[in-house]
Amino acid sequence: MFKNVKRITALILAIALCFVFVGCHKKGETAVQVSYEDYTDEFTSGFYACALLYADMEGQQKISETVTEQQMSSADFDYLKQKIDGKEYKVWVKERALEICKEVFAYKVMCEQNKVATADLLANAADMAKSYWSSYYSAMMIPNGVSLETFKDYTAYQEYSTAYFNFLYGKDGSKEIPEKDITTFLKEKYAYVNVLSLDISTLKEEEVEEKQKEFNKYLDRLKKGENFGKIYAEANSGEYTENKNDEGIFNNDNATIWGDKGTMYENDYFKNVAGLKNGQAKVFTTNDDNGKYIILVVKGDIMQKGNTYIETLKDNVRHELKDEEYEKEMAEIIKKVSLTEIKRATKPFKVDKIVYPQYQ
């Protein structure tokens, strides 16, 4: 999300500029009022500022997906001069910020209407917000008029969407996804892999041939039943510790996830292992935009007990299977949310005055 966002020359300048952005508003005043049926809510100017900031980052991401790196890196490139969906950039971001306020309110209403348990998620959201705040976010939020308490509030509202989705599509939900559908998707679209790679982009031809022979020897050892962890440790001058949860040659300590195109773990090399059986290994070379590598890979059983990613993966799959349906249904509810903008409170927050910190 933060790739290619606008930056200024120093955090000190960002803090100085924040008075341009937030200096003319009363702290904590109501900026947005929303309602749906008998439910109402209000968002402060700081909450609106946070929504505006996220809308700006979303807008910049959309622009970055439609222009070339050369265009983006040119001296005269300016996000503010671009258009999204035919709208001037500043207009789109402003409208998107108000739409975010409607969205998060709608998710909260659905949770309240259906008596969805949210306490744990909201507590986790508060902890997550504090953790984020101590790293990048405080330097980004404070100059744009957002306090820690407001950021915690904003983060909590995001969790209502997760809570309601889980209520519908999770275990015992009214639209619960059968476990067999999740397992089938996982096996078709994801791979649980061990990977040993070597950058050969700067090697001479004869050096590449030697490394190829070395990797083929590793492959032969794997075929004879040697554990990948031992080979990986040897190749990286480390120590090998046996993992009792390993299955055959597969080593859980060195496991990672590769996903097919369109998945949350999308990896360009997924196609190289999609046809392998569990426990099979292969060596292949790459020469593409990602670089020139020799890669040794072992495919494991993604459903094995040693796969500590499995519950996270199952949650991802639920979203990959049902997000489109979920968002479509929620869009109809969001349309019915009424919003009143208190322009006196939102006016000081302008898209062209948003600032981002720069880290040296």
For residue 288, give the nearest of 315, 268, 308 by alpha carbon.
268
The pLDDT, as a whole number, for residue 5 is 37
Compute mean pLDDT per 10 residues along the chain, 360 residues long, and list them. Answer: 35 36 64 97 96 96 88 85 94 97 97 95 91 87 92 94 96 94 97 97 95 98 97 93 92 96 94 95 93 96 93 95 97 98 95 80
Which phi-psi region, left, alpha or beta, contains residue 19 (left: φ > 0; alpha: ψ -120 to 50)?
A: alpha
C-alpha angle 172-178-183 in degrees, rounded to nearest 5: 130
End-to-end C-alpha distance for the chain, whole angstroms:
19
HEC states along 131-188? Answer: HHHHHHHHHHHHHHCCCHHHHHHHHHHHHHHHHHHHHHHCCCCCCCCCHHHHHHHHHH
Check whether domain 184-308 has CATH 3.10.50, yes or no: yes
Can you spell out the DSSP letters for 85-117? TTEEHHHHHHHHHHHHHHHHHHHHHHHHHTT--
Query: Which residue in the block uniquely carries the two structure tokens 């009143």?
Result: 340
Q: Which residues contact 314 (CB under 8 A, 6 or more apart)?
A: 182, 186
Query: Domain ranges in the chain?
Result: 11-176+316-353, 184-308
**Cα gap 297→319, rounded to integer Å:** 28
The pLDDT, as a whole number, for residue 359 is 54
Which pTM does this prediction carry?
0.81
For residue 215, give the nearest of 240, 235, 237 by alpha carbon.
235
